[in-house]
Amino acid sequence: MMGAIRLEPAPSWSHLPAIDVAEGESKTVGRAEHADVRLNDASLSRLHARISLDPSGSLTIQDLGSTNGVRVNGTRLETAPVRVGDTVHFGEIEYIAIPAGGSGSGATPVPQTIIRRVAVDTAPRVDRMALEALLSTSRELMAFADLPALLDRVLERFSSIAKPDRSAILLVDPVTGELVPRAVRPSGAYQSVSDFASATVVRQALAARNVLVVHDIQHDAQLQHALSVVAAGVKSVICVPLFGRAGPIGALYADRLGLEQFPPETAEYAAAFAGHAATALETAQLYDDRERLFRATLEAFATAIDARDHYTAGHSARVTAYTLVLARAVGIADAELEVIRRAGMLHDIGKVGVPDAVLLKAGPLDPEERAAIERHVTIGHRMLQGLPFLEGALPSVRGHHERWDGKGYPDKLAGTDIHPHARLMAVADSFDAMTSARPYRNALPIEEAARRLRKDKGTQFAPAAIDTYDAVEAEVADLLVRSHSQQ
């Protein structure tokens, strides 16, 4: 006859009761109040399993049709005998089989998976200082409408508490449903989902709607042999699922390398933090989607304006491309390049207010017609004013016809009073105008257009902008040739 067996909670579930069953007795396990052993965890069904001890001292576990199953030593089974040293999972709760009357510390060491789930929708035990930090974080996060900036701030705030070695936010692609890394710390730490300690961890956290913590990867049968884990030297992992009103948004993932584990209270903070972060991200995503749709509409509108005259078709796209080449050459930050791209695509949108008779006139313009053409910059500025996501583009929309010597329009700005983006766009706009055909003249050769740009260095154009053009002339010329070959 074998000795009786007790089920002792694994160390990370030490707040749960041990399970003892008398000879000839059976007990039900689950979340329901009428379960013989009540374990209040989101991964359990109401009546999850039945544990029985026969007269010979053999312990048997039966799955009662649960959602997340019963696993013995990692294998999901409907009915299974349990022996000393076995690990038993009810859903994600882990128990270890030890001799009845023994203790976990006295039992023979057995392989243990140290996965702990904390239900996102339960009230976490967060101390007063952490709660104050959460409230402050919530107010701060909700003030962000720019999604990339918000993603970075979420990582910053979470990292200040969890102190991971690496962290990332993955968002669900609305088209493919795939998880895509959108923000990573430190930069370049991850290149794809496969680089994470386990994509399975992320999927499990989302499926269970629970924070998932792996306290020690080396004792986890699912992860200890994962190539990404071995290569990176990952010790401990935490994954926070992010859910909005419409469903999953993504996940916040962090890990520690070397020897140090995440402390248990990190999971509680993460559970509380998840709701704040998810709400802010959902709001920002909606704003970002709305902004992207509206911007696409405006750009389509601007392209249609270019198409009013087949001589200027593609003008806005080419000016944008040339300006971006100049901007990169002077070291403008990546975040500003998107501002320049928006400004370039929309810089002539005000021409919607210019009559066709003036816009399409084949010959020279009289003073009244010239004034009508010049008004396109102020018309465009008025059209785009009040749109937060285009605020940074306004100086170039309004100022791309200002001159370094102060003789441009509409504000007669001179020198460094002209916005740096507008100085570059003035060169790009003039270059494209000269290298595009008009009813009254052929397109100028690239060499002649470049000569005229240099001739007006310090008068029409900022000297530094022309120097930059000289440095990237071959790249600009290549863009021009490719653009014309596609027409």
Across the range 390-413, mean pLDDT stands at 95
Across the range 293-315, mean pLDDT stands at 65
pLDDT in the model for residue 123: 39
Out of 254-258, 316-320, 370-374, which region has the weakest mean confidence (pLDDT)? 254-258
Out of 51-60, 125-134, 225-234, which region has the weakest mean confidence (pLDDT)? 125-134
Across the range 423-427, mean pLDDT stands at 97
> Positive or negative CA dihedral for 66, 70, 75, 77?
negative
pLDDT of 343 above 70: yes
Out of 72-81, 360-369, 376-385, 444-453, the most confident range is 444-453
pLDDT in the model for residue 287: 54
pLDDT in the model for residue 217: 64
pLDDT of 12 above 90: no
Query: pLDDT: is 433 or 128 the higher one?
Result: 433
83 in Cβ contact with 56 (< 8 Å): no
Tokens of residue 348, six digits? 């002539």
**What whole-number distance in Å separates Cα of residue 256 and Cα of residue 237?**
7
Out of 5-19, 385-399, 470-484, which region has the weakest mean confidence (pLDDT)? 5-19
435 in Cβ contact with 427 (< 8 Å): no
pLDDT of 409 above 70: yes
pLDDT of 131 above 60: no
Tokens of residue 155, six digits? 């990582």
Measuring CA to CA, which residue among 25, 26, 24, 31 is closest to residue 48? 31
Across the range 264-268, mean pLDDT stands at 66
Q: Counting every residue, how long is the chain?
A: 487
* Cβ neighbours of 423 (radius 10 Å): 25
* Cβ neighbours of 457 (radius 10 Å): 18
Measuring CA to CA, which residue among 322, 324, 319 is closest to residue 338? 324
pLDDT in the model for residue 198: 56
**What whole-number distance in Å separates Cα of residue 17 and Cα of residue 15?**
7
pLDDT in the model for residue 349: 85
pLDDT of 220 above 80: no
Out of 299-313, 428-442, 457-471, the most confident range is 457-471
**What whole-number distance in Å separates Cα of residue 440 and Cα of residue 231?**
66
Bridge partners of 441, per DSSP, are: 438
Across the range 154-168, mean pLDDT stands at 79
Across the range 100-125, mean pLDDT stands at 40
Residue type, 483: S
In sequence order, the 6+-apart residues with CB closer than 8 A to the CB of 69 are 63, 76, 89, 91
pLDDT of 106 above 50: no
Bridge partners of 9, per DSSP, are: 95
Residue type, 174: P
pLDDT in the model for residue 453: 96
Three-state secondary-structure class, residue 64: coil
pLDDT in the model for residue 230: 57
The residue assigned the tokens 């005998």 is 81
Across the range 256-275, mean pLDDT stands at 69
261 in Cβ contact with 225 (< 8 Å): no
Q: Which is it for strands 93-99 and 166-172: parallel, antiparallel or unpaired? A: unpaired
Q: Which is it for strands 37-38 and 26-30: parallel, antiparallel or unpaired? A: parallel
pLDDT of 128 above 70: no
**What whole-number distance in Å separates Cα of residue 214 and Cα of residue 201?**
9
Bridge partners of 236, per DSSP, are: 256
**What whole-number distance in Å separates Cα of residue 78 and Cα of residue 108?**
27
CA angle 302, 298, 312 (to 5 degrees): 10
pLDDT of 199 above 80: no
CA angle 468, 474, 480 (to 5 degrees): 105
Across the range 142-147, mean pLDDT stands at 56
Three-state secondary-structure class, residue 365: coil
* Peptide bond before residue 395 is cis, with ω within 30 degrees of 0: no
pLDDT of 296 above 70: no
Across the range 347-372, mean pLDDT stands at 84
Task: Write down the mean pLDDT value for the chain.
Answer: 77
Tokens of residue 445, six digits? 């050769």
Q: What percent of the chain has pLDDT over 90?
A: 28
pLDDT-derived band at 396 (thresholds 50, 70, 90) equals: very high
Tokens of residue 192, six digits? 């794809």
pLDDT of 364 above 90: no
Q: Express each pLDDT in 90-99 by its tens digit.
A: 998 988 887 7
pLDDT-derived band at 298 (thresholds 50, 70, 90) equals: low
Q: Express each pLDDT in 461-480 by its tens digit.
A: 999 999 999 999 999 999 88
pLDDT-derived band at 295 (thresholds 50, 70, 90) equals: low
Out of 74-83, 155-164, 269-278, 358-367, the most confident range is 74-83
Three-state secondary-structure class, residue 72: strand
